[in-house]
Chains A and B, each alone.
Chain A
């Protein structure tokens, strides 16, 4: 019996160390990445105690041994419970995080081989109107009919003709307060209300609306404020990498 107990004790120690390593990776790896607070020590340890809980075991010859193992088991049970809960919340948070990452408009809407046009700035002379006004987006100098991709997962909230100057345009709501606008399109491939994924083909570029030549106008709106789109995508990819990315996402896409 005693031998059995010592064997069980070793196994218990093993599980304690495993749990501790779980806790460490929980505290040090997962929670910092997901920007969550760590679980406090008192919470982890809390909830057990009470001297009389093992009263029915006292009074025997090896009572001490029995009681110590029982309390250890209780402790492990408790730790495992807390860890389990913690992992559940981390899992929820991480799937949410991955969703957020997918919805973030983080890529270039057209192939990176095309040069950037006018950026997010105050233009002294509007090329068509000839007056000074703000340019709230990023222009891409692309030829007529270039494929335009959605820059993140989201829902098309507007698509059609805009008489204010965008011509054929699409607005995608990415959630988390982010919206992206694609203007001067020659052709629109998505309809209002459609759920789309990153790298889906949403239209072809053109020169509709107030435009002096074929280009794509790309805007990003965060909580109703215009943001500089150049801060949202990296332009340092190579053409092959961009195509590879489009392919990789295209395999998941509903449309292509």
Chain B
């Protein structure tokens, strides 16, 4: 039952029913409405402060999980970094030493990481620091992995080249030399056959009858095939690459042309006594980067360790060279 309001009317001395206008009704309604809204807001705010909504609860749990995940990722990244460091060490100390390459400088490995503002879009959040740190570490790892993979690419190249190098570097005896009896005179001071004084002999002499096959001691290219009446007589120079050249002198005849590619063991010429020579023999020289080296150290394919010892003994005897 609605409450009816009455108003005393002094004129008629009676209570008249009060009739409210539309405006008053509206005002009243508005007042009510605003009041309730304000109360609702106050309540909501108060509740929001002290109690979580289910959604918030879910989100918070997610954030927590995320943080745990991040820390897990961090641990993983530490592991990866350790592994990378190990790889880097192996790379520097092992492979690069084996293949005689320079180690990659640390500045190059670490370089390129930095710049503070790169992660600006990640700033301003609750967990910004964590996220930024992770992103930075990831970047660093990516960079390291890239450098490392490049380095391994280089190493593979080097390994391939090494194979080629092993095939090219002089490594066998230039003539067949059973029992090493053909070795006549080694590298070093030797009595000159005509001057009869001690002169330096820059190669190794092998005695063999005229016409004996002379072999190329490594893969390479014939760079010179010269005939001369003095000095080396008919001689062949083979460029093996990697700084090595070998020379075969006093040949009676040639079996190769200039520019021809030869393999280890190919017959390139025949023993003779041309040029300044007093007997049929082969004069064999090896040059490394333009300097004569002792050929006795370049027979590792042919000789067993015991034979090598004997060869060194024979070669070190101060015999007479045949020039």
Complex interface: chain B residues within 8 A of A28 (CB) = 178-179, 181-182, 207-208
The answer to the question of A119 belonging to the interface, with a C-beta cut-off of 8 Å to chain B, is: no
Interface size of B by CB at 8 A reads 26
Given known contacts A24-B179, A234-B276, A31 and B209 CB-to-CB distance under 8 angstroms: yes
Interface hit among A32-40, A172-180, A206-214: A32-40
Complex interface: chain A residues within 8 A of B273 (CB) = 35
Is there contact, CB below 8 Å, between B195 and A245? yes
Is there contact, CB below 8 Å, between B181 and A24? yes
Interface hit among B78-86, B87-95, B278-286: B278-286
Closest-CB distance, B278 to chain A (whole angstroms)? 6
The answer to the question of B194 belonging to the interface, with a C-beta cut-off of 8 Å to chain A, is: yes
Is there contact, CB below 8 Å, between B182 and A107? no
The answer to the question of A29 belonging to the interface, with a C-beta cut-off of 8 Å to chain B, is: yes
Given known contacts A29-B207, A101-B193, A244-B197, A35 and B182 CB-to-CB distance under 8 angstroms: no
> How does the 8 Å CB contact mask read for B187-211 relative to A, with 1 for contact and 0 for none?
0000001111101000000011110
Query: How many Å lie between the Cα of A206 and that of B193 in the bound state?
Result: 31
Query: How many Å lie between the Cα of A25 and that of B180 in the bound state?
Result: 10
The answer to the question of B230 belonging to the interface, with a C-beta cut-off of 8 Å to chain A, is: yes
Is there contact, CB below 8 Å, between B209 and A248? no
The answer to the question of B322 belonging to the interface, with a C-beta cut-off of 8 Å to chain A, is: yes
Closest-CB distance, A96 to chain B (whole angstroms)? 13
The answer to the question of A169 belonging to the interface, with a C-beta cut-off of 8 Å to chain B, is: no
Closest-CB distance, A172 to chain B (whole angstroms)? 16
Complex interface: chain A residues within 8 A of B210 (CB) = 32, 35
Complex interface: chain A residues within 8 A of B208 (CB) = 28, 32
The answer to the question of B171 belonging to the interface, with a C-beta cut-off of 8 Å to chain A, is: no
The answer to the question of B184 belonging to the interface, with a C-beta cut-off of 8 Å to chain A, is: yes
Query: How many Å lie between the Cα of A97 and that of B207 in the bound state?
Result: 15
The answer to the question of B229 belonging to the interface, with a C-beta cut-off of 8 Å to chain A, is: yes
Nearest 3 pairs of A and B residues by beta carbon: A231-B229, A106-B194, A28-B181
